[in-house]
Amino acid sequence: MAADYASVGIFLIVGLLFVVVNVDVVSRLLRPTNPQREKLTTYECGEDPIGASWIRIHVRYYLYALVYVIFAVETIYLLPWAVVFRQLGMFAFVEMMLFIAILLVGFAYAWRKGALEWVQ
């Protein structure tokens, strides 16, 4: 019984060592190290950084991103359904229409609350 746990423990330790060695040690040996002033600056969309890097961002941008992620993740379920649509029958069609209706209600709610307004 203890031998089973020992083999799992050894497997985990070897796996962790493999990850640490590959990510840390090998990457330090292979990557070029030539730090320059331009390489150490913050890069964002090709624009030169102006001001402090710790600035406040309005919450509406986070809400916009959150709504996008929610709808993007939920619409992932449409592809597998569409692939096997003919085999599923009418019950699956009704279920997917209900799913899309729930998505549309959420979309209408977000739209009405102003979560989709980019600039006000």
Closest CA to 100 of 77, 68, 117, 80: 77
pLDDT digits (tens), the chain, 120 positions: 777 889 899 999 999 999 988 888 888 888 887 778 777 776 656 666 677 767 777 777 777 787 788 788 888 888 888 888 888 888 888 988 898 898 888 888 888 887 777 655
Q: Where are the domains of the chain?
A: 59-113
User: 103: buried, middle or exposed (CB in 10 Å: 19+, 13-18, 0-12)?
Assistant: middle
Class of the CATH domain delimited by 59-113: mainly alpha
User: 64: buried, middle or exposed (CB in 10 Å: 19+, 13-18, 0-12)?
Assistant: middle
**3-class DSSP assignment, residue 47:** strand
Residue 16: per-residue pLDDT = 93
- Claim: this prediction has a pTM higher than 0.85: no
Residue 70: per-residue pLDDT = 79
